[in-house]
Each structure stands twice: as structure tokens, then as C-alpha cells.
């Protein structure tokens, strides 16, 4: 599924125009990107958590020549799926909290 297909389904499910659904989706994505780029976390209970993660510098290998190369340290986005999302993908019902 791509972004336009997602917008179409969201518009139908929420009974709104595609233009309104696109604005909502763009606002959500923009907010997640801004928040995670500042180093904060976005947690959507049941769906998952978006956060940034630091990746240390390391030595890699050029696949063409086999020569060792240095890979610089960087910060990357990370997504961890929530329990409900994991259960849905696995085809199981999510365990209820007591």
C-alpha cells in the first residue's frame, strides 16, 4: 500500500474528503518526524513507538574490493511495534492486561 491508497482508505473510513485525509496524514507524519529528530519519542499505544537511536562508528567492508572502510557514527530513526500490532500481524488476539 502506498500513501495515496492509505489516504483513500482513511478518507472512506473516517467519512471525510481525500484532501482532508491527506492533510491529516501529512500533519501526523510531519509531527512524528519533527519530534523524533529532536530526540523525543512518539508512542502510539497498541501500534508502536517511534524514537531515535545512536549508531556507533564502525568498520565496514567495501563489497566490490573487500577493502576496510570507516563508517561514521550517526543517529537513525527506529520503530518498535506495539503488542496489539504484533498480535494482529501474527494472526493472534492481543493479550488483555489484568
Q: What is the pLDDT of residues 50-71, one digit of tens each?
A: 999 999 999 999 999 999 999 9
Sheet holding 74-81, edge to edge: 42-44, 48-55, 74-81
Please report, for the chain, the start and end positions of each structural domain, with discontinuous segments joined by +: 1-38, 41-85
The C-alpha cell at 34 is 519533527
Strand partners, 54: 75
**Which residue carries 483513500 as its cell?**
8
Q: How confident is the model at residue 96 (pLDDT cuts 50, 70, 90)?
A: low
pLDDT score, position 93: 73
Q: What is the mean pLDDT of residues 86-94?
A: 85
CATH number of 41-85: 4.10.520.10
3-state secondary structure of 24: helix
Q: Is the pTM of this model over 0.85?
A: no
How much of the chain exceeds pLDDT 70, in percent? 95
Residue position matching grid coordinates 494482529: 88
- Residues in Cβ contact with 29 at an 8 Å cutoff, skipping those fewer than 6 apart: none
Amino acid at each position: 500500500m502506498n500513501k495515496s491508497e492509505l489516504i483513500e482508505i482513511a478518507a472512506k473510513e473516517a467519512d471525510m474528503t481525500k484532501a482532508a485525509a491527506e492533510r491529516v496524514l501529512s500533519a501526523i507524519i510531519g509531527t512524528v518526524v519533527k519530534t523524533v529528530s529532536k530526540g523525543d519519542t512518539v508512542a502510539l499505544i497498541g501500534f508502536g513507538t517511534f524514537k531515535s537511536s545512536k549508531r556507533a562508528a564502525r568498520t565496514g567492508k567495501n563489497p566490490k574490493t573487500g577493502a576496510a572502510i570507516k563508517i561514521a557514527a550517526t543517529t537513525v530513526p527506529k520503530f518498535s511495534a506495539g503488542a496489539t500490532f504484533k498480535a494482529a500481524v501474527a494472526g493472534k488476539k492481543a493479550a488483555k492486561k489484568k
